[in-house]
Amino acid sequence: MQYDPNNIFAKILRGEIPCHKIYEDQHTLAFMDVMPQVEGHCLVIPKHPSRNLLDADPIALAHLMTTVQKIATAAKKALNADGIQIRQYNEEAGGQTVFHLHVHILPMKIGMPMKKHTGKMADNALLAKQAQIITALVK
Ligand code: AMP
């Protein structure tokens, strides 16, 4: 399957639609998931286009994982989490819904249930605040 440059994350990268940005460098962008499954649910995407892990450039993947580590560390501190879950889906059968490679970062607390994907948007002000707190802790 071909990469579709009109996917929503490509539009975010081009600045055509907004996001609650946490971090950006030459190769990657991190922002808040608008329908978080846990508090502080973030996404990291490469700037290099690929549908998912399967067609990704290996160098772009290395940059992506470097940023995932950076953001996971900051998000764990920001949310006072006990751990971090990393999720990444490939193609529709693999659970993927947005076809630009992305990694989910989920700050987890012991005993805390994960919300289902309800499709409900989180409060914008809360997402903006969380993005700000995580950004301040990125090293
Ligand atoms: P998946 O492709 O299944 O890994 O999930 C895509 C994720 O992107 C979901 O968790 C959505 O909540 C999230 N999402 C969809 N649109 C946006 C958006 N405009 N900004 C931030 N997150 C989004």
Provide the residue-wise pLDDT of the chain in tens; the chain has 139 residues.
899 999 999 999 999 999 999 999 999 999 999 999 999 999 999 999 999 999 999 999 999 999 999 999 999 999 999 999 999 999 999 999 999 999 999 999 998 877 776 678 999 999 999 999 999 999 9
The verdict on residue 85 lying in a domain is yes
| 3 located within any domain | no
- Distance, in Å, from the CA atom of 136 to the CA atom of 112, rounded to the nearest integer, reads 25
The residue segments making up the domain with residue 60 are 8-135
Question: What's the CATH number where 113 sits?
Answer: 3.30.428.10
Count of other CB atoms within 10 angstroms of residue 85: 15
Question: Considering its fold, how many domains does the chain have in total?
Answer: 1
Would 30 be classed as within a structural domain?
yes
Using CA positions, which residue lies closest to atom 3 of ligand 1?
A: 96
* Residue 86 belongs to a domain: yes
Atom of ligand 1 nearest to the CA of 35: 12
pTM score, whole prediction: 0.96
Distance CA(128)–CA(18), nearest Å, equals 12
Q: Is 102 a catalytic residue?
A: yes
